[in-house]
Amino acid sequence: MARATKVLSILLVLLLVVTLSLTGCQQQEVEEAGPKRVFFGIATGGTGGTYFPIGGAVATIISNFADYETPSGKIDVIATAQTSGASAANCNLIWKKEIESGFVQNNVVYWAYTGTESFKEQGAISNLRVMMSLYPETIQIVALKKTGIKTVSDLKGKKVAVGDKGSGTEIDAKTILNMHGITYDDIDEQYMSFAEAADALKDERIDVLFTTAGIPTSSIVELATTKEITMVEITSEKVQELIEEVPYYSEFTIPKDTYKGMDKDVLTVTCLAQWVCDESLDTDLIYNIVKAVFEHKADLEKVHVKGKDISPESAVKGVAIPFHPGAEKYYKEKGLIK
């Protein structure tokens, strides 16, 4: 009887082992058959600009709607938006393969890809590819009304925030100053992010700031609620000179109701914000990301007014370097490029 009990116990143990083994195999098969996760990062800019809120909205759309099927199974795309030093820094992050994509001014994209202007020393970043042009980025020159600054020529001898060193804003500031016969020798240049510059102007530690961003820019909106500001105008003559010298600039008028205290429209210039990525990313991945963003554009519009400017038609404008093959596939399907 004891021996029979022992044999029965051994059989039960063996049965349990086999059952657990089969269960383990089944779990492994389920795991292997599940969707493959692909993480996709978007480098934006500082929290005081437009890149950051747009990037967050885009990341949400991607995570919710950009999944796709392949012959080997489903791809589950998980996107995140990250703060960064904006245009020039984002190009370098992609170059070093520290992030998959980023928002960059189109002039900076061109300089990075060709190794010109601020990228002469380090050389070309040849792995950059365009996903889409996003929206116009307006060059905004802001002073406190009490300073009496009204034109760019008034900036001589002033403390001027020109953006982060090497940023698209700084390059724009230099270009506009030079067009007016002003160099850094004529001003006290201050390297600051959008938010830092707005705080410094509010505290009267600087006289004027340059910002290249989609309007309305949150840091300027906040500044205008506590201080009387002046939007410094670029004359029509100088705007035309800028456009002739720098073809990626366009004439733009900042409407007088953009910020509190504005009493007239202000003439300036814009360039384009672009979304660029690493050329090595999978074609189907980028195709489905671009498709998801345009199919759910209404979600962008709820987050920021600049979402209204993002469309397939505008996405192919101002592009001076190659598209990523996945983006190119989408635009060709839509008949927007050949």
Give tens-digit pLDDT for 31-53.
Answer: 445 789 999 999 998 887 889 99
Q: Are 90 and 52 part of one and the same domain?
A: yes
Q: Quick one: average pLDDT of 186-199? A: 94
Which amino acid is it at 266? Answer: V
Kindly state the percentage of the chain with pLDDT values over 70. Answer: 90
**What burial letters (b/e) apply to 123-135, b meaning 16+ CB within 10 Å?**
eebebbbbbbbbb
Average pLDDT of the chain to the nearest whole number = 88
Euclidean distance between CA atoms 209 and 49, whole angstroms: 14
Residues 201-224: tens digit of each pLDDT? 999 999 999 999 889 998 999 999
Q: How confident is the model at residue 152 (pLDDT cuts 50, 70, 90)?
A: very high
Query: Among the three residues 272, 298, 322, which one is the final residue of a domain in this structure?
Result: 272
Q: How far is CA 224 from CA 141, 198, 266, 305, in A?
A: 13, 10, 16, 18
State which of 251, 272, 293 marks the end of a domain.
272
Specify the higher pLDDT residue, 158 or 247. 158
pLDDT for position 21: 38
pLDDT band at 14 (very low <50, low <70, confident <90, very high): very low
Report pLDDT for 265.
96
* Domains in the chain, number: 2
pLDDT on residue 34: 73
Half-sphere exposure of 335 (CA within 13 A, CB side): 0
Alpha carbons 123 and 256: distance in angstroms, whole number = 41
pLDDT at 18: 35
| pLDDT at res. 35 | 86
Are 145 and 221 found together in one domain? yes
As a whole number, mean pLDDT of residues 255-263 equals: 93
Amino acid at 49: G
- Confidence band of 250 (pLDDT split at 50, 70, 90): confident
Does the pLDDT of residue 16 top 80, yes or no? no
Examine the domain organization and report whether 221 and 310 are in the same domain.
no
**Same domain? 159 vs 278:** no
Q: Name which residue leads in pLDDT, 20 or 229.
A: 229
For the chain, give the secondary structure using H, E and C. Answer: CHHHHHHHHHHHHHHHHHHHHHHHHHHHHHHHHCCEEEEEEEECCCCCCCHHHHHHHHHHHHHHHCCEEECCEEEEEEEEEECCCCHHHHHHHHHCCCCCEEEEEHHHHHHHHHCCHHHCCCCCCCCEEEEEEEEEEEEEEEEEHHHCCCEHHHHCCCEEECCCCCCHHHHHHHHHHHHCCCCHHHCEEECCCHHHHHHHHHCCCCCEEEEEECCCCHHHHHHHHHCCEEECECCHHHHHHHHHHCCCCEEEEECCCCCCCCCCCEEEEEEEEEEEEECCCCHHHHHHHHHHHHHCHHHHHHHCHHHHHCCHHHHCCCCCCCECHHHHHHHHHCCCCC
Residue 19 has pLDDT above 60, yes or no: no
57 and 99 inside one domain:
yes
Q: How do residues 293-337 score in pLDDT, each as one tens digit? A: 999 999 999 998 889 999 999 999 889 899 999 999 999 999 999
Instruction: Let me know whether 203 and 151 are in one domain.
Output: yes
- Whether residue 102 is found in the same domain as residue 65: yes
**Which residue range forms the structural domain that includes residue 251?**
137-272
**Are 200 and 173 contained in the same domain?**
yes
Indicate whether 322 belongs to any domain: yes
**One domain, residues 127 and 200:** no
Model confidence at 170: pLDDT above 50: yes
Mean pLDDT throughout 239-261?
A: 89
Q: Count CA within 13 A, CB hemisphere, residue 113.
A: 20
Residues 325, 265 share a domain? no
Q: Residue 214: its pLDDT value, please?
A: 87
Q: What is the CATH number of the domain that holds 308?
A: 3.40.190.10
pLDDT at 29: 33
Q: Residue 145: is its pLDDT beyond 80?
A: yes
The string of pLDDT tens digits covering residues 48-103 is: 788 999 999 999 999 999 999 999 999 999 999 999 988 899 999 999 999 999 99
Choose the weakest-confidence range: 1-10, 132-141, 179-188.
1-10
Tell me what pLDDT residue 194 has. 87
